[in-house]
Structure 1
Amino acid sequence: MSIRGDKAKAYFTRGYNCAQSVLMAFSDITGLDERNSAMLSSGFGGGMGRMREVCGAVSGMFMAASFVSGYDDPDDSEGKKRTYKMIQTLAENFREKNKSIICKELLGLDKPEGTHIPDRRTPEYYKKRPCGDLVKDAAEILEEYFISIGKIK
């Protein structure tokens, strides 16, 4: 059981998008407050602006991971390698559990719905979408990763 996974899922059920939910679940270690986390990740929901590309939960996981363990010096080639390896590891862990990191594939869609307008969050929405569980998975994967590298206990 993961406190951060549960926290991310709770944010999602409050109406935050997938990316927001995951990034916000790590605000205590990113140092970003709830508002800044939500604003930074707001365009990544729905597979990047509802285009159904990379899953928002995965994007939120990548943002939190990069904020905590990324690099900031453009000449830091070792930092780039380390960061890209981390992102690929996290993506592979998510893919192992969910078969894809692509939103439309995770939702079983042949193509995006063709609109920028998000679905209303109703009880039926939550029943038909796996997003709450995907958000929880992404947060759990990142939490396990951070524990393995000593960033959190």
Structure 2
Amino acid sequence: MERSKVWEAAQKHKDGYNCCQAVVCTYCERLGMDEKTAFRAAEAYGLGIAGMFQTCGSVCGMMMLAGLKNSDANMESPASKFATFDLGKEMAKRFEQRNTSMICNDLRGTDGKTDRLRSCRGCVMDCAQIVEEVLFPGEFEPYDGPSEL
């Protein structure tokens, strides 16, 4: 079993990756995408999609990873999309159970500190844990470190 990469995702965020980039870039190579391409593909999903404070970028990152993990890549007759939707729904449900919302503006609060539900880095860490549990069951040791970096 491989050591959890939750801390690595948090460190990427601390180093300047946006929330989506931190999640996607932590796991992309094991799903066939190089980190530079993943970084570029995930760039517009920061601060709740293009800075609009909508769906959390970390959650968007989980969805990208679900597609990379589960898609049959059959462009003529796609058959995997509903199973991928189910994976995404399961991960979103777990995130919402932990944080009560998937909306960046709700999670961050009005000023990012005083009335927030969860910090951005905390969301990255939650999503990394969920990715390991749902997309890679039994492949990673359970994360048992701090909930914030």
TM-score (structure 1 length as normaliser): 0.78
Give me the CA root mean square deviation: 2.2
CA–CA separation in structure 1 for the residues paired with 2:45 and 2:72: 21
Corresponding position of 1:61: 62
CA–CA separation in structure 2 for the residues paired with 1:22 and 1:60: 6
* Deviations 1:75-119 (CA, angstroms, capped at 9, x unpaired): 334x1221111111110011001111110011123xxx9xxxxxx
Unaligned runs of 5+ in 2: 141-149
CA–CA separation in structure 1 for the residues paired with 2:27 and 2:122: 17
Conserved? CA contact 1:8–1:136, under 8 Å = yes
- Supply the AA of the counterpart residue of 2:126: D
CA–CA separation in structure 1 for the residues paired with 2:64 and 2:40: 12
CA–CA separation in structure 2 for the residues paired with 1:37 and 1:28: 9
CA–CA separation in structure 1 for the residues paired with 2:135 and 2:32: 15
* Deviations 1:122-153 (CA, angstroms, capped at 9, x unpaired): xx9xxxx70111101001101111233x7x45
Corresponding position of 2:145: none
* Deviations 1:17-37 (CA, angstroms, capped at 9, x unpaired): 000000011023122222111
- Considering fraction of residues, name the structure with more helix: 1
SS of corresponding position for 1:3: coil
* Deviations 1:30-62 (CA, angstroms, capped at 9, x unpaired): 222221111010000010010001100001111
Give the length in aligned residue pairs: 133
Conserved? CA contact 2:48–2:103, under 8 Å = yes
Conserved? CA contact 2:29–2:35, under 8 Å = no
Conserved? CA contact 2:28–2:38, under 8 Å = yes
Corresponding position of 2:120: 131
Offset of residue 64 of structure 1? 1.2
CA–CA separation in structure 2 for the residues paired with 1:83 and 1:134: 21
- Supply the AA of the counterpart residue of 1:141: I
Conserved? CA contact 1:57–1:138, under 8 Å = yes
